[in-house]
Amino acid sequence: METTDTPPPPAPDAVPRHGVPEEPPVRKVGPGGRRGSRGGGEGRTLNAFSHGMLVLWAFMVVMPLLWAVMTSFKTDREIFTAPWSLPAAPQFENWARAWGQAHMSDYFLNTILVVGGSLTGTMLLGSMAAYVLARFDFPGNRFLYFLFIGGMSFPVILALVPLFYVLNNLALLNTLHGLILTYIAYSLPFTVFFLTAFFRTLPTTVAEAALIDGASHARTFFQVMLPMARPGLISVGIFNFLGQWNQYMLPTVLNTDPERKVLSQGLVQLAVSQGYKGDWSGLFAGLVMAMLPVLAAYIVFQRQVVAGLTAGALK
C-alpha cells in the first residue's frame, strides 16, 4: 500500500528534462530497509525515536483540526475559559448562524460559480493550447511554449498591480466573470506545461488514422485525443481545482465587493466582523464548514488527489 502512490504516469516524458529522476511508469514494490542484523539497544532506541517522531507529527497535524471542530460546537464563554475541554452541550446553532447570518452560504455559492467556470475554462483552453504546442510544428512553437511556462516562476503580485487597472478599464473588476478569466489566465502556465508533456507521450497513430478517415483536426482533438488524455486531464484538473478553490491572493486584490466574496476571503472577512461582535463560535463553525468538504473529498479521492498535486511539483 505504502508505495503505490508513485506520480501519475503522465510524468515520465516531462520528468527527465526537468531534472527529476526518471520514474518507471509501472508501480513497483517499494524499497524498504531490511535492518535484519541490527542488534539490540542502539537500533531499538533509534526505532523508538523515529516512531515517536512519526506519531508526534501526526498528532500535530490532527490536533489543530480536531480543536477547530470541537470549538465550533462550544459557546463563546467556553471558548474563552476552557480552550481544550469538550463542549458541555454541542451548540448546533453556531453552524446555523454561520451558514445564514454570517453569509457562508453566499460565499460557498460564489466559490462554486467561480471555480465551476474557471475550471472548465482552464481545462478547455489549456488542453487546446497544449495539444497544438505538443503535436504541431510551426514557426514560434518553442517561443510560445516558453512564454506560457515562464509564468510559473514569476511573482504574481507584481502583475496584480497593473492588472487591477486593466480589469477596471474592462469593467471586469469586482465581477465574478472577471475573476473567472483571471483564474484561467493564471492557471494556464502549469496546465499547458503539464499537458504538453502528456500529449507528447500519447501514440500518434490513432490520431493519424482518424485524420485519414476524414476527421478534421478539431474533431480528432475532441473525439480521439481528449479521451486518450483522460488520466492527465484528471491529474491537472484536481491540481487546478484545489488551487482555484483555495485561492486567496487573487480575489483579495481583484474582488473586493463584499457581495461577491469567495470562500477564503469570506472567512477572513468573517474573522474581522465576528471578532467585533465577539461571535467566535460562529466563526469557528464557518471555518470548519469550509474545511470539512475539502477534507472529505480528499479522503474519498485520496489517491487521485495525491497524484494530481505531486505532479505539480515535478516540474
Partner 1 sequence: MHHGKYRFIAGFLAAPLALYALFVIWPFLQAVYYSFTDWTGLSPEFAVTGLRNYERLLDDEIFWKSLQHSVALVLLVPLVTIALALFFAFMLNVGGRRRRGAAAVTGVRGSAFYKIVYFFPQVLSIAIVALLFQFAYNPNNGAINAGLRAVGLGSVQPDWLGDPDFALWSVMAVLVWCTVGFFVVLFSAGMSSIPLDFYEAALLDGAGRVTTFFRITLPLLWDTVQSGWIYMGILALGAEAFAVVQIMTVGANGGGPDYSTTVLPLYVYVKAFRDGQAAYATTIGVALLVVTLAFAAVVMRLGRRERLEF
Q: What distances in angstroms separate CA 256 from CA 96, 195, 271, 275, 293, one per listed residue?
A: 25, 33, 16, 20, 25
Q: What is the DSSP code string of 247-278? A: --HHHHHH---GGG--HHHHHHHHHHHHHHHT
Q: Which is nearer to partner 1, 151 or 201 (CB)?
A: 151
Task: Tell me: does residue 306 bind partner 1 (CB under 8 A).
Answer: yes
Q: How near is the Cβ of 231 to partner 1 at its closest, in Å?
A: 16
Radius of gyration (C-alpha) of the chain in whole angstroms = 24
Task: Tell me: does residue 252 bind partner 1 (CB under 8 A).
Answer: yes
Q: Which amino acid is at 302?
A: Q
What is the footprint of partner 1 within residues 262-301 (CB under 8 A)?
A: 263-265, 267-268, 271, 280, 284, 287, 290-291, 294-295, 297-299
Q: How far is 204 from 181, CA to CA, in rounded Å?
A: 32
Q: How near is the Cβ of 203 to partner 1 at its closest, in Å?
A: 20
Q: Which is nearer to partner 1, 121 or 201 (CB)?
A: 121
9 within 8 A of 233, measured Cβ to Cβ: no
What is the footprint of partner 1 within residues 166-185 (CB under 8 A)?
A: 166, 181-182, 184-185
By CB under 8 A, the count of residues binding partner 1 is 120
What is the footprint of partner 1 within residues 140-169 (CB under 8 A)?
A: 144, 147-148, 151-166
List 40, 41, 64, 214, residue binding partner 1 (CB under 8 A): 64
Q: How far is 62 from 180, CA to CA, in rounded Å?
A: 33
The stretch among 44-52, 95-103, 197-205, 223-231 that binds partner 1 (CB under 8 A) is 44-52
Handedness of CA 172, 173, 178, 184 (dihedral sign): positive
Task: Tell me: does residue 32 bind partner 1 (CB under 8 A).
Answer: yes
